[in-house]
Structure 1
């Protein structure tokens, strides 16, 4: 299936690293008119633009509601939004700290609402429709040890996705979510690289593997060579090939939730 995004302007949050970084490059490869990569870390944005100069960097700390709205309103029309930015803190339920609760819900949930409001209002004004994909997680659908906060934020993302789809569908705006299993980005490696922790999870996945991200270690530099499992799902849901898919939470988990 040949996907193209000609004449489409795309905004990806959390584009500095991991899934967001690879998504930004993938949309450029699929001929998007403009790809905005948003991150709160300038060094990550600079490296991304060096690798793919066609990407337009956008600096904003999503935890700051007003600064984020100002930055987005300066961008102009957005046809496709991928809400990818997220924080992850793992701690036992009894050790949850209020500052971690506030930080994770601010970034994973509150900022998603903020960014989506700005983008959707622009889509409605232009009356040209659009597509939004929220990056959720399998942690929204079942309990994982030490993932109370992360799972709760992603469950909220799933619920918000469906509510958004219901309310803005009349404007020809589709809203969907992708729920990956463990993706070995920097964040995924930090949490799941311990075999004692990841083996029980792997044992439950019929394909017996996590979402594909390949790493090549040379002189202590990590190069991501593919994030196909999640990226391809997002590209499809963002495209006109999925024009009748709206309000779904698509598991990309190798069959984990089927067991």
Structure 2
């Protein structure tokens, strides 16, 4: 029986045979992107920090969609993590066609209470790691000579300030600009680089930070559609950006925010 996901990703929205690395692939948005890509026929390399969770994801996706799934246990907060992951992922299927830079953390705190420890940790995972990983994967794609697609999961917090997210906003804004540089430098090699910028997404992390109605209500009031996003709304956009349907789309930062950042 054809699943709902397989029906959604038919025709031009297919990734049959494409080799894709997805970071932070066992939870939240990353897990949903992995499932969408598996439904669209991609061969997957999933990365995360927990081998048990990765093994469960490999098994579940392989059983449901019959696709090849590999994994790499890497802590992207480590200085050598991006290089180690780029190497392992490229070796899994003899190259990569797609990178989805999704892994991230959120350590909310007000400006006046910002600690160096949390600031550095946020920038290490949310900016340094994905930027260096994209540079390494991009270089490998250039050597392959077959083009490719890089998608950064940034945030609406990269486009509009968000209270108590000082380091997070700075990291995500930097990552959006880094992705534009990737688009500019790698574009001549047929490699497209784009960002998606979601508002709050109702994942486990989103619920943890925004689950209290008193905190969520003012934020929702600023979103014309009157709600937060759900994971598949991000996955659908990422899928489109990685597919041939977006073959002329390069260097964009696409808000997925119900109109929050439109002004």
Note the 1:225-236 alignment, pairs <5 A. 227-236=231-240
Aligned-partner Cα distance in 2 for 1:147–1:67:
25
Aligned-partner Cα distance in 2 for 1:30–1:238:
11
Partner of 1:43: 52
SS at match of 1:177: strand
Structure 2 unpaired stretches of 5+: 1-9, 63-67
- Say if 2:71 is the partner of 1:57: yes
Q: Which consecutive aligned stretches of 4+ in structure 1 deviate over 2 angstroms post-superposition?
A: 65-68
C-alpha distance after superposition, 1:39-86 (max 9, x if no partner): 012232122123223421211111123244234313330100000000
Q: Alpha carbon RMSD of aligned pairs, Å?
A: 1.3
Aligned-partner Cα distance in 2 for 1:75–1:258:
37
Aligned-partner Cα distance in 2 for 1:87–1:50:
26
Contact 1:192/1:198 (CA < 8 Å) preserved in 2? yes
**Structure-2-length-normalised TM-score:** 0.89
Structure 1 unpaired stretches of 5+: 213-226
Partner of 2:244: 240
Aligned-partner Cα distance in 2 for 1:45–1:23:
14
Partner of 2:182: 164
Partner of 1:217: none
Aligned-partner Cα distance in 2 for 1:250–1:68:
25
Contact 1:39/1:58 (CA < 8 Å) preserved in 2? yes
TM-fit CA distance, 1:239: 0.8
**Structure-1-length-normalised TM-score:** 0.91
Contact 1:65/1:114 (CA < 8 Å) preserved in 2? no
Q: 1:69 aligns with which of 83, 97, 107?
A: 83
Aligned-partner Cα distance in 1 for 2:69–2:208:
27
Aligned-partner Cα distance in 1 for 2:240–2:81:
31
SS at match of 2:89: coil
Partner of 1:253: 257
- Say if 2:214 is the partner of 1:186: no
SS at match of 2:119: helix
